Structure 1
Amino acid sequence: MSLVLRAFVLFAPLLSLVASAATIPTATVTLRSIDEPLDAGSTYMRYTARENALHKPAEHETNADRLRRGLPPLPPRINLHKNKHTPTKSSPQHHASASSKPTKGNVHVKHHKSGKFLGFLSKNHKSPHVQRFTITSDPEEAMTVRARTPSPDIPSSLTITNPEDGFVNLGFVTGPASAGAKLAPRSANYAVLSGTDETRGGDPPAAADAAYGSGSVESAVWTYESQSQTLTPKWVNPDGSLAITKLVYLPRQDALLVTGDEQELGDTFGDDIVPVVFELV
């Protein structure tokens, strides 16, 4: 048997496997924008499963991992005293004792499970055309808020003390791809974090204005637990029931919002969902 024929006999099974693999269809994932109605087909982006994996955050990702996914580097270790919005060195947001927690300061965004610091809540909108709040690593771009009547049980408003526009209430407004204002399990409904008109605490969402746009708005949604310094949103559904309110971050869309079902939201928009907590510091 010739050398060429022997090589063919040896490698024929391997060539067959390669040919078979080439015919396997590539799975696709539909990535949708929370800033457009779900029927706006032109806003959909389709990626192969491999390409979509580039958007998935690693459990212990490096700056190189983030750059490959088109994200900025990890935030550096930050000296909070550089914040230009700090009035004096004795400002309570930096020198609060165990018996005197701040009711005014910056908002730290942390991973809900690991407690990892993800950044500051930014005073700036995502863009001039997408006026919702997101995360920044720059302390000088951090939002400063004041809890009006802080309570761990009764939701109230948060006042933005360094607003970039005329909306001084930190609240939520339903997004254009949300099917309604009811946040519940097995529903992808959501509301985005934005400056809003003021609404009454305990009331269902009101038709009102927000920097993000008009919609179903709630501003008096924040409870404050002074021991942990945690700010927790509590959304009221249109029927008056208290919703299961999950505060989440969508890295691909750089979005902070509330929803009733993280899994359903992620499946609908093709996003990784990062559960987060807010701390007033």
Structure 2
Amino acid sequence: MLDLIINVERMEDDAPSNVVGMATASRLGAFVTGMHVVAVYPPIMTMPEAMALLDTEERAAQAHGGWWQALCERYGVQGEWEVIRGSYVPILAKRSRLAQFIVTDLPVKNPDSPIGFDNITRALFGDAAPMLLVPETWQGVAALERILIAWNGSGEAADAVKAALPLLQRASKVRVLDGERAGLPGLAPPALSLRAWLARQGVTVEWEHFDDSPNTGKALLDEARAMDAHLLVMGAWGRSRLSELVLGGATRYVLDHTHLPLLMAH
């Protein structure tokens, strides 16, 4: 049985990550853990009332265990409710490592926030399991049946595809955009045989060459719209993290502008 974790920020039935996460768990026959993190940040520990506030938040979160079990029953899945107090990013990263992937909301970008310092980016940097990121404004098909893979031959892209395999095996359409660049003959390692690997897993794909460009992120989202994709699978920060965060790149653009769920790995 597969294990999925839903990072529950909003304890509401119709929160996008809860809808997509539960529908995905039902589709895959997975065990699903609803995890709520009571975040502890060092600055608040200097406040005399901090511990009391955290205690209150933790008790309120624990009281939602019945709501979670009712949600599991509605979707016909097995699951549990877990509340953890501590540092948000390390908890999200470590707790997710035995899961196939973790489902979480992708917040609407705050233009005033520092680039690369949001919790999702930091958790991916912190070696979390692959993440299924659902935009907070998402309204779409929860079954994730039409899947677009952005392939560049990187380890990050391979990890994302492996995490997505149970979804790929049940998809009605899978399309691969192959943007892998050839390495130097005799020096670079051989390319990964993704097409043959997917065929061995029983996944039928449409395969297309994809040219990398300064506007790769926008081009990927345009391709996703053109095929009415329900999910985009890709590696995160396949190039230098610093160059992506400072100069921009496909990962940064897609995270900032996506209209559909993303399954990313770093």
Using structure 2 for the length normalisation, give the TM-score: 0.27
- Where relative contact order (Cα < 8 A, 6+ residues apart) is larger, the structure is 2
Greater share of residues in helix? 2
Q: Which of the two has higher C-alpha Rg?
A: 1
